[in-house]
Amino acid sequence: MDEILGVAYCVARFPSWPEGIFLGFLHCVVEVGTIAMASRILVPLLGGGNEEKAEMIETILFVAAINTLLQTWFGTRLPVVMGPSYTFLVPAVSIAVSKRMSVFEDPHQRFIHSMRAIQGALIAASCFQMSVGFLGFWRIFARCLSPLSVVPLVTLTGLGLSLSIFPTILHCPEIALPALFILVLFQYIAQRMKSRGVNRFAIIVSIVISWAFAEFLSAIGACKETSVEIQMTCFTNRSALITAAPWIRVPRPFKWGSPSFNAGDIFAMVSASLVATVESTGTFIAASRLGKATPIPPSVLGRGVGWLGIGTLLDGFFGTGTGSTASVANAGLLGLTRVGSRRVIQISAGFMLFFSILGKFGAFLASVPFPIVAAIYCILFAFVASAGLGFLQFCNLNSYRSMFILGLSLCIGLSVPQYFNEYLLLPKHGRLHTGSTGFNNTVQVLLSSPATVAVVVAYFLDLILRRGDASARRDSGRHWWEKFRSFNQDTRSEEFYSLPLKLNKIFPSI
């Protein structure tokens, strides 16, 4: 019960080099899809074109590779890929449409000044994350978590993203549904062949076949009657990403100029960093489960959040336009491939560095039609959601207290964000209409995250309802998690989470 069964390679193990290199490339492909979707949403709203979009993809990919290496070396040391967080898009878009940016008639100038403001807000938000992580506040929060409160946190970390991305499949079912069908078919083939390695080729085969089918439909004119937007999104790549991307370009810090700081932007970005921290915590817990590691000690979670803040600081330095978070899709890929090796993730970071510097290759990967990416992500998000549901085995579901906390947190976690997400990227027309745009964006960000809303409800109800009752403690599964609250109480924790001896000497306090 401590470790999930059926995993081929756990966190501290490594497959053969050819297999590890292939799996690292697979993680890179999944991460590029997330980065391309984020830049496609953000860059046009900031006033940028194809060249700015290609440069942002390269920059995010470069910084994501560095953050992934930092997290696997110094942070949680779990097999997680760090990537862009969609939570930061709300304050970023608010900056782009603010009155002080409307004075720039030239779209390129508006893009540059918007990026400077976003950089300043990200730098300030990173200080909040580093303080919460390295000063021990997140460790205190994690010590009060129980399996009962972790269920809505991890489940809605995956399910919330799945609900937001599923409409993309319905926009172009001609190519999205075949990709989804191929992935499900590979699960059946793997079961019939009794081979765990078959699933590792599912995503590549799904992308190749679905993309070729999309090109075929485009060639025979099947998309002529559809709108131009659907044609660009679903069938062929007409965004000129490959043309706009250079062959070689090394991202450099502060390429847009000196960051600018605004109090309202900072408050909204700090709230986004808090949401990214909560969702990253859910992803860390899911990755530890899918990677066959023991539950994360609170001190390791605090360490990981601190290095997450350093990653957001690098985002502000390099101008990625969005902050960092642990990639939910890549955590789901651990479950699909049944390989949770830390070194595979480090190899994927090497691929990300390669594709970020050689822009043409990275742009080619980013040109995969988004409905195909959405179909793949629905499967990967499902693994994360199921990892959260797996913690129910440690709870007493015959208890009315457990049923009340679980049901209420899941219902509120799904319904409240649904109310606010209708205007997620339109801050001026959102649900709140107070005089302070910063306050509007702060509340919008906090209440748009299903995982954040759900864990707040479950966390506090679990603490206050029948507090001190021994039966309540067992109903929540706290007795099972007791031996994992301290780093040295379980010998396996040292194998999975401890820093190497040399690094322990350099960073004794974190």
Domain assignment of residue 349, yes or no? yes
Domain assignment of residue 230, yes or no? yes
Phi then psi for residue 83, to 5 deg, are: -150, -170
What's the rounded Cα separation, in Å, for the pair 115 and 158? Answer: 29
The SS3 assignment for 12 reads: coil
* Domain span including residue 341: 17-391
Domain assignment of residue 116, yes or no? yes
Q: Which of 315, 239, 278 is nearest to 413 (CA)?
A: 278
CA distances from 401 to 2, 252, 397, 431, 489 (A): 24, 53, 9, 33, 29
CB neighbourhood size of 433 (10 A): 8
Query: Along the 510 residues of the chain, how does pLDDT read in single tens digits?
Result: 556 767 778 888 888 899 999 999 999 999 988 888 888 888 888 887 778 888 888 899 999 999 999 999 999 999 999 999 988 988 888 888 888 887 877 888 888 988 999 999 999 999 999 999 999 999 999 998 999 999 999 999 999 888 888 877 777 778 888 888 888 888 888 777 766 667 788 888 888 888 888 777 777 766 666 665 565 666 555 556 677 677 888 888 888 888 888 888 888 899 999 999 999 999 999 999 998 888 899 989 999 999 999 999 999 999 898 999 999 999 999 988 888 899 999 999 999 999 888 877 777 777 788 888 888 999 999 999 999 999 999 888 888 889 999 999 999 999 998 888 775 555 455 566 666 777 888 888 888 899 999 999 999 999 888 766 667 778 888 888 877 777 676 667 777 777 765 555 444 444
Domain assignment of residue 138, yes or no? yes
Instruction: Enter the tokens of residue 404.
Output: 């009340």
Q: Are 40 and 57 in contact (CB under 8 A)?
A: no
Domain count of the chain?
Answer: 1
Domain assignment of residue 452, yes or no? no
Q: Which of 336, 314, 270, 425 is nearest to 70 (CA)?
A: 314
What pLDDT sits at residue 505? 45
Domain assignment of residue 33, yes or no? yes
Domain assignment of residue 494, yes or no? no
Instruction: Enter the tokens of residue 407.
Output: 């049901």
List all residues 6 or more positions away from 477 whose beta carbon is below 8 Å from its beta carbon.
Answer: 146, 147, 148, 391, 394, 395, 396
Instruction: Enter the tokens of residue 164.
Output: 């937001």
For 164-215, the three-class secondary structure string (H helix, E strand, C coil) is: HHHHHHHHCHHHHHHHHHHHHHHHHHHHHHCCCCHHHHHHHHHHHHHHHHHH
Domain assignment of residue 68, yes or no? yes
Rounded to 10 deg, the angle between the 17-46 and 89-96 helix axes is 30
The SS3 assignment for 396 reads: coil
What pLDDT sits at residue 509? 40
